[in-house]
Amino acid sequence: MPLQHPKEPDIHPYTPLVTAACLMVSVTVINAPWASAIGVSVAVVASLIIRNKAATLAAVTIIIPACVSFSLMYGLFGSWATAAALSLRFAAVVGCGVMFDSLVNPDALMRALQTWLPASIVYVVGSVVRLIPMATSRMRAIQQIQRSRGVKSQRRKLVIPLVVGLVTDAAQRSRPLSRTGIAQPGRRTVLYPVRDRAWERMVRFGMVAVMCAACVWGIAG
């Protein structure tokens, strides 16, 4: 019986990723206001259920400037319908993508990918996924150090220490990784494999099938 990780997520990381991808592709390919409205509704309901303030704020921060840009580019020249359609579609795509991707556990995703992807690719993907949390943590540490020294914390004084620190961390991680044989071919085993329930696999396959049918219908229509 495989060991279970003490912080095992409730859902497999592939499930929210597939959900986000299917919704984003379907809304884009169908290219209709009603499809965009459904996408926005799904994103709003997801935000109310998930209650992730950071993800909601990130989605709103991305969507509002884009909607303003569409209004300036199309609305001021009389194409308010085009501006509204583009804004609604963009809000649906970004909202669904950000809200469902916020459910993905980075560690569980890396463990799931490690069973079939080369270790070097998993390391690159993991580095990208963890870049923002690592940068945030290091920035807080730099701010605390500067405050302890009586230095006023300013953004321009954080850039160089932050970049140098991230590069140094990457160099330090590369040495032990090279000794573990990360570049060697072959399948890897995982101490705590991610549990992939049968119903989740069925849901993912069903969503992909519905997405394909919606895309065919949207292209043919």
Q: What is the pLDDT of residues 116-169, one digit of tens each?
A: 777 777 777 777 777 767 777 888 888 888 888 887 777 777 778 888 887 787
Residue 219 sits in which domain range?
A: 13-104+197-221
CB 9 within 8 Å of CB 192: no
Model pLDDT, residue 209 = 97
Residues 49 and 150 in one domain: no
- Distance (Å) of CA 110 to CA 8, 39, 51, 199: 13, 28, 24, 21
Judge whether 219 lies within some domain: yes
Question: Using one digit for the tens of pLDDT, what is the confidence trace for 12-66?
Answer: 999 999 999 999 999 999 999 999 999 999 999 999 999 988 889 989 999 999 9
The helix (run of H) or strand (run of E) holding residue 54 is helix 53-73
Domain count, the chain: 2
- 50 and 80 in a single domain? The answer is yes
pLDDT at 184: 62
Task: Assign 76 a pLDDT band (cuts: 50, 70, 90).
Answer: confident
* Distant-in-sequence, close-in-space partners of 92: CB < 8 Å, separation ≥ 6: 23, 27, 35, 36, 37, 38, 39, 40, 42, 43
State how far the Cα of 147 lies from the Cα of 151, in Å rounded to an integer: 5
Would you say residue 6 lies in a domain?
no
Tell me, what amino acid is at 118? P
Tell whether the torsion through CA atoms of 49, 54, 55 and 57 is positive or negative: positive
pLDDT at 1: 47
Give yes or no for residue 188 having a pLDDT over 90.
no
Are residues 151 and 201 part of one domain?
Answer: no
Does residue 67 sit in the same domain as residue 124?
Answer: no
> Does 129 fall in a domain?
yes
User: Quick one: 97 and 157 in the same domain?
Assistant: no
Residue 8 inside a domain? The answer is: no
- Per the domain annotation, does 31 fall within a domain? yes
Cα atoms found within 13 Å of the Cα of residue 166, Cβ hemisphere only:
17
Mean pLDDT of 108-123: 80
Q: Are residues 87 and 121 in the same domain?
A: no
